[in-house]
Amino acid sequence: MKLSTRDAVGYFKRPDPDRTGLLIYGSDAMRVALRRQEVIAALIGPNGDDEMRLTRIPAGELRKDKAMLLDAIKAQGFFPGPRVAFVEDATDVVTPIITAALEDWAPGDAQVVVTAGALKASSKLRKLFEGHKNAYATGIYDDPPSRGEIEDQLKAAGVAQVSNDAMTDLVALSRELGPGDLRQVIEKLGLYKLNDDSPASSEDVAAVAPTSTEAALDDVLNIVAEGKSGEIGPVMQRLNSQGVQPVALCIGATRHFRALYTAASDPGGAAQGIARMRPPIFGPRRDRMLRQAQGWGARKLETALGILTDTDLQLRSAEQRAPAMALVERALIRLAMLGRMR
């Protein structure tokens, strides 16, 4: 039988122990694996693997030994409780073997859980489970998790309370990260909030979220955007000693000011513009950029982008003879002075 995407979410949490089997397929191996882990844990409990009530069978080995699956279904272990025979990375090649095992299945036998990659509607394996009267087949697609699914993961990680801003950040983050990376972030959040009963805040999410690879540029970009021209020189010297290239610095500044311009020119206001940013901006950095966008305004930010564009063209010009880092520093000082003008 087909199991719809909507119904599958609830079924993974509370699977029917009397079913013959379940096929989970999809192009994203991580999403399929996470769902498979969830449903197997719900079937056999947290100690099922340790109690040897789970038998793992790679599809490649099943092709060599066709009796493996049926033996796993019928075998009675030392520990009581429900059992699962898990076939991993199945393809249509092993469909006849799985078909024979399902036909011999009887109540009390181990439930068969099969995972596969993307399967067409014409797939023999998919048709087997969709046409079976006591088994399910469900596809896992690349859709980001819903708010409810994120809340479930938070509860599992021990995070009982989450502020509205933090939940908004997590939902935005789920659009950018894969399911495995998102789960790691939520698990880190659970550890970060260990023995802390206060609601998780946006700052907490920012503390455990993946760090930007361009974080080293943030200091100088914030100094410029906040009009602190006197602090630019020392920071530029540090960046230069770290090997930051002038062109990379100019590109980073252009990206930062373009983001501010996007926020400042949003019809719904700068706050709404910041919230729409992709990749999402979190916690204190979001608040800081919001203040910068509101302080500059769209018109001055247009002028700033013009200065940065001209500097970028100069850096790339074949006739350029002046030191590249000096050109960028001069442009940043001009921007800082512009930002202080009212």
- CA–CA distances in Å: residue 27 to residues 31, 118, 172, 181, 250: 9, 5, 23, 17, 39
Helix (H, G, I), strand (E, B), or coil: what is residue 111? strand
Per DSSP, what are the bridge partners of residue 58? 88
Q: Which superfamily, per CATH, for 5-139?
A: P-loop containing nucleotide triphosphate hydrolases (3.40.50.300)
| Cis peptide preceding 96, ω within 30 of 0 | no
Return residue ranges of the chain for CATH 3.40.50.300.
5-139
Angle between helices 218-225 and 246-264 (to 10 degrees): 50
What pLDDT is recorded for position 213? 39
pLDDT tens digit string along 112-121?
999 999 999 9
pTM: 0.59
Output b/e per residue, 136-165; b: 16+ Cβ within 10 A: bbbbbeeebbeeeebebbbeebebeebbeb
Cα distance between residue 26 and residue 106, in whole Å: 28
Tell me the C-alpha distance between 51 and 69, whole Å: 19
* Domain range 215-340, CATH class: mainly alpha
What's the CA gap between 142 and 139, in Å, rounded?
A: 10
Distance CA 31, CA 43 (A): 19
For 21-70, how does the pLDDT look when each residue is reduced to its tens digit (9 = 90+)? 999 999 888 889 989 999 999 999 989 988 999 999 999 999 999 999 99
314-330: per-residue pLDDT in tens?
A: 888 877 777 888 888 89
pLDDT at res. 53: 94
Q: Is the pLDDT of residue 210 over 80?
A: no
Is 200 within 8 Å of 161 (Cβ atoms)? yes
Residue 131's pLDDT band, with cuts at 50, 70 and 90, is: very high
> Does residue 305 contact residue 254 with C-beta atoms inside 8 Å?
yes
Return residue ranges of the chain for CATH 1.20.272.10.
215-340
Question: Above 60 in pLDDT, residue 215?
Answer: no
